Amino acid sequence: MDIQNLDDKHIWHPYTQYATSPKPLVVESAKGARINTTDGNSIIDAVASWWVNIHGHSNERLAAAVHKQFLNLEHVIFAGFTHDAATGLAESLLPLLPGKPDRLFFSDNGSTAVEVGVKMALQYFYNKGEGHKNQVICFEEAFHGETFGGMALSGDLEFNKPYESKLFDVLRIPAPIGERAKESREQLEELLKSGNVAAFLFEPLVLGTAGMLMYDPEVLSDLIALARSYGALCIADEVMTGFGRTGTLFACDQSTEKPDIIAMSKGLTGGSMPMGLTSCPEFLFEAFISEDKMKTFFHGHSYTGNPLACAVAIESLKMLTEQKCQSDIERIVSSHKAFAQKHENNPKFKEIRQCGTILALEYQTGEKTSYFNSKRDQLYNFFIERGVLLRPLGNVIYILPPYCISDEELISVYEAIEASLNINW
Ligand SMILES: *Cc1c(COP(=O)(O)O)cnc(C)c1O
């Protein structure tokens, strides 16, 4: 049987409504910013394969790092054992993180990296005998993952409705987008006054899944400072914004106030292997050291600290900090800026937003901005037919490319977007 038929029979794809979606395209190979399908097409990966890919596909340096590591040590239990892949990653990454944290905790994906951060914060207060501090404040529009913790921490997303009754309570404030910044700050302070808040969790500068909603670094600094003044720990979910995406290495490099805890995943291994990381400062770690076994951090996944993922993360980070990649990021930032300026006054767009290498274009559709906006599927198919992978979030189109994307490829993406403006809905 051919691949498509086998897939049709045995595989269940993520975020896919089988009644209306076309069959998945079969990928033969991928190189750089291109995905090559078995039907002979070459598609520009303008969303970095769900925001993970930063150096392009099938990168030789990343492949060599995995190969070398595999021949030496592919995996070992991470309780009671350690290895130079993990310590090497800590040594290269920690000094580059906002606020220069001291320690890394390993997990497998973005959702678990965030959950680990929240568990650390809750148990920090519990261990200190301040168990009443057990509330978490999140944005109403937040997205923090797919697991039950991730869903609970995320805002009222339509797709989490079936599980709603099983999700734990969190406190919510509006994200500080545009005019809502003042309201967001006021509500944060009101909630902090209870003295029961353990953590303030946020996506710094860009709320991705909510539709690439953006806010300023000054606003972020102000919220962090406020939460800290009431003794709450600040957790930055840098899962999407990390590793150069916002133009700086991390989004929180742009705010003057730094978070206590940082969750990372997507760009971490250059888009090649699943891994999550949560960083924290020494004072937090120290609250878990005790003769009392109950103060232990009882968390760990089977593949915690996987050496292959660590080795590829070290190489990816090295590439990211090299001049070549830094100028690629700058090139994408200016290219996006020029495209945004060109369409500044185009009435077909309700708003155009940019943060670093992310460009978001909100279409004027007369319908409410939402993930379920009916234009979404039509737009997706329109772009695929033109050899460009863009996954609209409702009526918001965004470009979030691998940094190795060429100028010509970027132009093709912009041209496909311009062509879509002439669709007769
Ligand atoms: C994607 C994402 C997550 C979840 O990461 P997974 O690896 O999909 O579990 C969490 N937070 C943010 C901000 C994300 O973009």
Tell me the pLDDT tens digit for each residue of 390-424: 999 989 999 999 999 999 999 999 999 999 999 87
Among residues 280, 193, 195, which one has the least CA distance to residue 234? 280
Work out the pLDDT band at 376, boundaries 50, 70, 90.
Answer: confident
Work out the pLDDT band at 231, boundaries 50, 70, 90.
Answer: very high
Work out the pLDDT band at 369, boundaries 50, 70, 90.
Answer: low
- Average pLDDT score, the chain: 96
Taking 60 as the threshold, does the pLDDT of residue 371 lie above it?
Answer: no
For the CA of 146, the closest atom of ligand 1 is: 9
Which of 50, 109, 111 to mutate to test ligand 1, by most ligand atoms within 8 A of the CB atom? 111
Looking at residue 373, its pLDDT comes to: 62
Looking at residue 147, its pLDDT comes to: 97
For residue range 21-76, what is the model confidence (pLDDT) as tens digits?
889 999 999 999 999 999 999 999 999 999 999 999 999 999 999 999 999 999 99
Does ligand 1 come within 6 angstroms of the Cβ of 239? yes
For residue range 5-23, what is the model confidence (pLDDT) as tens digits?
999 999 999 999 999 888 9
Work out the pLDDT band at 157, boundaries 50, 70, 90.
Answer: confident
Which of 47, 239, 275, 355 to mutate to test ligand 1, by most ligand atoms within 8 A of the CB atom? 239
Does ligand 1 come within 6 angstroms of the Cβ of 154? no
Looking at residue 399, its pLDDT comes to: 98
Q: What is the mean pLDDT of residues 345-355?
A: 96
Looking at residue 423, its pLDDT comes to: 86
For the CA of 266, the closest atom of ligand 1 is: 7
For the CA of 274, the closest atom of ligand 1 is: 7
Distance 237 CA to ligand 1 centre (A): 8
Residue 333 to residues 204, 307, 336, 342, Cα–Cα distance (Å): 18, 33, 5, 14
Looking at residue 397, its pLDDT comes to: 96
Q: What's the predicted TM-score (pTM) here?
A: 0.97
Beta-carbon contacts of 375 under 8 Å, excluding residues fewer than 6 positions away, are 363, 365, 367, 392, 394, 395, 425
Residue 27: strand pairing partners: 37
Direct distance between the N- and C-terminal alpha carbons of the chain, in angstroms, rounded to an integer: 38
Looking at residue 193, its pLDDT comes to: 98
Q: Whose CA is nearest to atom 15 of ligand 1?
A: 240
Q: Whose CA is nearest to atom 11 of ligand 1?
A: 144
Distance 98 CA to ligand 1 centre (A): 19
Q: Give the three-state DSSP class for 352.
A: strand
Q: Whose CA is nearest to atom 7 of ligand 1?
A: 110
CB 270 within 8 Å of CB 319: yes
Range with lowest mean pLDDT among 50-59, 270-279, 323-332, 369-378: 369-378
Looking at residue 223, its pLDDT comes to: 98
Which of 154, 240, 252, 278 to mutate to test ligand 1, by most ligand atoms within 8 A of the CB atom? 240
What does the block give as tokens for 250? 């991390």
Looking at residue 246, its pLDDT comes to: 98
pLDDT above 70 coverage of the chain, percent: 98
Looking at residue 1, its pLDDT comes to: 73
For residue range 171-217, what is the model confidence (pLDDT) as tens digits?
999 999 999 999 999 999 999 999 999 999 999 999 999 999 999 99
Distance 111 CA to ligand 1 centre (A): 5
Distance 117 CA to ligand 1 centre (A): 13
pLDDT above 90 coverage of the chain, percent: 93
Looking at residue 336, its pLDDT comes to: 98
Total residues belonging to the chain = 425
For the CA of 111, the closest atom of ligand 1 is: 9
